[in-house]
Structure formats: C-alpha cells, structure tokens
Structure 1
Amino acid sequence: MAMDEEKALKALSPKRVWLSVAIGLALVVFVAARDKNLTQESFFLMAEVSIAAILLALLVLAVKDGLNTTRIKVLGEGAFSWKAALYIVLLWEFATAVTPPLFGPMGLVIFVLYKEGVSLGKAFAYAMLLALLDNIFFLSAAPLAYLLSKGNVLPPSEGVFNELGNGIDYFFYLSYGLVAYYTSFMAAAILFFPKFILRVLLWLASLRWMKKGSEVLSNRANELYAASQEFRGKHVGYWLKLLGLTYSVWIMKYFVINMLVSGFVTLTIEQHLLMVGRHLVMWLVMLVSPSPGSAGTAEYLFPAFFGEFLGDYTFAGGLIWRLLSFYPYLIIGALILPNWIKRVLTKVN
C-alpha cells in the first residue's frame, strides 16, 4: 500500500478553504435572489435568535467533537493520545469541508491517521471501519425515522422538483441505495467474509478483460483483506462502544439545528424529534452533492426541510446554522494544519 503524501498535503491545503466559501456564498446569493418573499428585513432577523440558543448549539457541537475524539481513542485501543485523537477529528472535519461528499475524504483521513503514528495498513483499516460505522447509522436510523414519523421526514419538495427535475425523495432513495450497496460490500470484505471477497476480487483481476486494472484491483483486494485482519478477535464490548459512540456523535450533530431553531420559535417534543429525522434525511441527500462540503447544497435544501418550523426566520436560521457548524471547521483546519504538518513531519524525520 502506497501513500502519496504530496497529493494528500495538496488536498489538505488551507487554500482549498476559499473554494468551499466561494461556492457557499454563491448559492446563498442564488437562494436569496430566487426567493420572492425574501426582503432586507429577512437578514436582520438573524439578530432575533436568542444568545442562549447559540451557546447551546456551540455546546452540542463541542460535545459532538468530544464524543468523536473518544471514538477515535476506543478505535485505536491506545494507539492515539487524546491530543492526537482531537487533531484527527478536527482535520477529518476540515477534510470533509473541502472535499465533495460524492467522493468522500477517505484518502485524507487515512493520511491523517497514518501520520499520527499507526502503520499504513492500520490507518486504512481504521478509516474503513469509521466509514462503515457511520453508514450503519444512516442505514438503520433512516428507516426508523421514516416509520416513526409516518413518512413526514420527507418534506414536500415541489420547488426542488421543478428546478432539478426530481423530488427530494428521489435523491434520498438514490443516496440510501448507494450507501446500502457500499456498506454491504465493505461489511462483507472487512467483517464477515473477507476470504471470500478476496478470492472474488483476485479472480476478477485475473480475467483477460481486466488486464489494464488487474494490478490496482489486486492491490485493493489485498488491502481490504489486511484491514479485516486488524479486527479479528475483538471483544463484544469494543463493538458496542464504537456503535454507541457513533450513534451519539451523529445525534449530537443533528441536534445543532434543533438548538438554533428553538432560539427563534418554540418547539414541541414531537417537532424536535421530527427535525432530527429531517436532518438525517437531508444529510443522506447531501451525500450525493458534488460540491466541497456540500457547500451550496445545504443552503439550498435547508428551506425545504426546516422552512415549516421557522417560517419567516428560515433564511436567517439557515445562515446561522452554516456559520456555526460548517465554516468554523474550515477556519480551525486552516489554523491548525500548518502546525500539525510541521509536527508530524518532524516526528518522521
């Protein structure tokens, strides 16, 4: 397994921040221009959010990152210090913000894990397992949210349908299907049938019509099998801790919007639960976004999912949500990245 460090460092460059910011701002302007009900007063409504709601949203974000840091510690079983685990989480968030969800930040996450002191094989295995755990959450939580809400987690999407040619439900089912396919394969390759998947992939690589890509496919097959060996014999407690932390991380991530919306309007318990379900569905839809960090896509979809709760505050609520949950990770990543690179390169030297 080879790691192209120059390419990884280029992808993590702080300069990439500007692309995400530019796309996000362009879509904000687009959404504002197409909304006939949007007035100058809509921007000033941002000032009406309660300070307590913003502080609670920031607290939820901090708890989320703390839980994710703990997840990295549990995953590595002592391989990472608390400081290293926190750096991994923050740089992972930065990588997510500067890469399109459609392609994912997996290569960058592997690079960060590797530079924090584990072997390249373990870094690959850890990154694969983290992605697998996140996808298990999506696949299990989405149907539950759909059933409990009686389908209300999928909001009316006439506006989205008219402009994109398909409704929100189309993109939700498309994304869910892609995640289910990917997760099934990865679970089989890493956890349940590693030898069988290895043999199938090596057989495919040996076929004549696969001659050009046979070496790459063989390498990927061996990497997946090596990753599976990292998790053989792990006790039940290891898996339960990781699953529990994964669910907690994502629930905290989704609850940020709840905190912000409650700063504008009063919500019932049922509305709080529905909003968490809506955020889950919106996140799945955003997984097929081609823009870095879903910049623009999130701003575009926000009114469809949460407009009925916020009313006149929808535009203001969407702006504050992104200002608190997206742009800070761009800034933090750009600030800590130079020192992190200096530290890990010094460690290697």
Structure 2
Amino acid sequence: MALNEQKLQRQFSARRILLPAALGLGVVGYMLYRSYEPEQVQTLLQASLPWLGITLLVLLIRDLGYIYRIHYITDKVLSWKKSFRVIMLWEFASCALPSAVGGSTVAAFILYKENIPLGKSIAQVMVTVLLDNLYFVLAVPVVFLLAQEAAMPALDALTPTMRSSLEIAIIVSYVFVSLYAGLMSYALFFNPKGIKRLLIRISTVKFMKRWRLSLLNHANELLLASRHMRNKSLSYWARASVSTFFVWTARYTIIGCMIAAFTYLSADEHLLVFARNLVYKVILMMSVTPGAAGFAEIAFPAFFGMFLGGFTTVIVLLYRLLTYYLYLVIGAIVFPRWAAYAFSKSNKSEKEKATEEAVLTENPSA
C-alpha cells in the first residue's frame, strides 16, 4: 500500500498534532481576550445540567454509532474492542490531517493492518464514504426547505460579497458531492468496469495527467470494492444506513444541545442551528489546516453567535474541546499502542500481500 509505518508516523508526529492544537487554542484565547466579560463566569456556572448531559449523550451516541457501523460493515471481523480502536484512530486522523484530506485516506490502511484483506478494507471505507455523502445529499435539501435563507449566516456577520461566495461554495460542494455519490453508487452496484474505463479516459486528458496515477488507483479500487459489495444482504445495508443516519444526525445536533445548555432554544431554533451546522461543516472542509484548527474557531461566531452574543467564544472553546481536542488526546494514547501492535508482527503472509497488491495495480486497460 501507499502508506507504511514511517509515513504514518510522520503524519501523526507530535509537531503535526501540537501545532494545529496550539493554533486553535491561540485563536480562542485571542477571542476570549477581546470578548471576555466577568458575568460570563456566572453564565457558565448556571448552565443547564440536563442539556449538558444530553450533549454528552449525543456525543456518546455518535461514537457508538460509528463503532456499531464499522463492526457490521466489516462483517464482524473487527471485534467491538477493535472497532473502538479503529474509530478512535479514524477520528484522530480526521483531527490531525487537513479537513480537505480527512481520516478516510488512512482508514483503509488501518483496516488492512487489522487483518482485513486489502480489497475488502478499501471497499469498506468506500461504503462508509458513500453513505456519509448520501446523508449530506439527502439532508441538505430538507433542512434548506425548512430553514430557507436563515440557514445562511446573517448579513451583518458577512459582507454581501462574502455571502455570495459562500452561497456559490455551498452549491458547488453540493453538486460535487452529489455527482461523486452518484458515480460511486453506479460504479459499485451497476457498472464498475464502465466507470473504470471512464476514469482511465479522463486520466489521458492533458490537464488531468498530473492526477493520472490517482485516477488509475481509484478506478482499480472501485472495481475491487464492487466485487466485495455487490452481493451484500439487505440487512447489511439496512444496518449501515440506519447507523449512518444516527451518526450524522447526532454530529449535527451537538452544537444545538450545547447552546441550549446556556440559553433557551425553541424547536425552530434547534432546526436552524442544525441547518447552519451543515453549512458550517462545508466551510470547514475547505480549510487547509489539520482539523480546520483556527478556521473553525473564527467561523463559529458567524454561524451561531446570534444565539449566544458575547458568550459565543466560551461555547467555541467547549465545542472544540469535546469534538476536536478530546480525540487528539485519545488518539495520542491509542495510536502508539496500535502502531506497536500493528507493525510488530506480520499480519499477513507476504504471498497474500503480493497477490493483493498485484490485483490493485493490475493493468488499467483491463
């Protein structure tokens, strides 16, 4: 595979983890310095304990949903303990790598080192990516239909030019994700060889040649994934789909629960926060910093400041502690132990590895 122990260690080096963490905390510290007022301490102490409990419960549901999904998507090859470890490493990768890259780039390698054959590990990661994209494709029209223009940040938070650029970015992102989800679905379930030939032809276009190798690898990965996934049972897809729904609904609900712990939110406002969170996450995907560090903190008030006023910065800190720094800490604990386990022994025979690599890098004209 493209990754090995040295490359993985470099991806998760202390410098690459500490720098974005320091950047995020630095931005929050500056925001606190600019907006701190003594009465914020009293507001913090008067937080609604039931809503704080619900926030933690939603976070737990999200992680349990991820663990449940990977356990069944891998056909229970991963035990519950290994499923927990894989998800924590996956979240760790998402926090330690730029948002545009994401944790899925190393997820197949992690599964591979957990004794799942290369073809299957690629297929299983592709299934999770496909389901995640489909959730986004289906959720966006629903929440925008209900929230309408209020789903976008207020005009006083953005200039007209920035707002127009944001709207264009949302539309482009939605179209791209929809096309990608549709292409993956068609390739996995209907015509993998046809899509493979299409990607090969695209790779021959002059301005696409710099991505030729990536396109050829992706074409072969789609073919491998299709072989593993086309005959799965209805129960398999039902479990994967339902768990994906719970995972992402919980993920987009956390901010609303946290805000409700400090100020009253009506049902309509909860929906509005959910809708804005969808837009917020699209913006974070454009960040070049690991885990959108710094960028997430700066963008947060534009989307959710109207509900919290001067207390917004405190919520930014609490939100990032729960959804970013927590997984950096857990990952920093889990990763060294996992690396020692994964690389200290040969998880597969050299013959099996060579066979799988040969399949993955087969003649692209096949």
The separation in 1 between residues aligned to 2:206 and 2:183, in whole angstroms, is 24
Are positions 1:94 and 2:79 aligned together?
Answer: no
Match of 1:151 in 2: 149
Cα distance change, pair 276–204 in 1 and its aligned pair in 2 (3 A): closer
The separation in 1 between residues aligned to 2:253 and 2:75, in whole angstroms, is 29
Deviations 1:232-284 (A, max 9, x none): 11122221221111010011112221221111112222222222222122112
Deviations 1:118-163 (A, max 9, x none): 0122111111111111111111101100001233212214434379
Cα distance change, pair 3–158 in 1 and its aligned pair in 2 (3 A): same
Identity of aligned residues (%): 34
Measure how far apart 1:305 and its partner are: 1.6
Normalised by the length of structure 2, the TM-score is 0.85
User: How many pairs are equivalent?
Assistant: 346
Match of 2:226 in 1: 228
Match of 2:259 in 1: 261
| Match for residue 246 of structure 1 among 244, 247, 254 | 244
The separation in 1 between residues aligned to 2:106 and 2:75, in whole angstroms, is 21
Matches within 5 A, 1:1-349: 2-29=2-29, 31-32=31-32, 38-41=35-38, 44=41, 45-161=43-159, 167-204=165-202, 217-348=215-346
Q: 8 Å contact 2:99–2:289 — kept in the other structure?
A: yes
Q: 8 Å contact 2:36–2:310 — kept in the other structure?
A: no
The separation in 2 between residues aligned to 1:182 and 1:76, in whole angstroms, is 23
Measure how far apart 1:82 and its partner are: 0.6
Measure how far apart 1:41 and its partner are: 2.7
The separation in 1 between residues aligned to 2:191 and 2:11, in whole angstroms, is 33
Measure how far apart 1:318 and its partner are: 1.7
Please list every run of 5 or more consecutive structure 1 residues that lacks an aligned counterpart in the other structure.
Answer: none
Q: Which amino acid aligns with 1:41?
A: P
Deviating above 6 A after TM superposition, structure 1's stretches of 4 or more consecutive aligned residues are: 206-213
Measure how far apart 1:193 and its partner are: 2.2
Cα distance change, pair 267–288 in 1 and its aligned pair in 2 (3 A): same
Cα distance change, pair 326–3 in 1 and its aligned pair in 2 (3 A): closer
SS for the counterpart of 1:24 is helix
The separation in 1 between residues aligned to 2:276 and 2:210, in whole angstroms, is 44
Cα distance change, pair 15–47 in 1 and its aligned pair in 2 (3 A): farther
The separation in 2 between residues aligned to 1:209 and 1:281, in whole angstroms, is 31
CA RMSD, 1 decimal: 2.6
Normalised by the length of structure 1, the TM-score is 0.89
Cα distance change, pair 29–212 in 1 and its aligned pair in 2 (3 A): closer
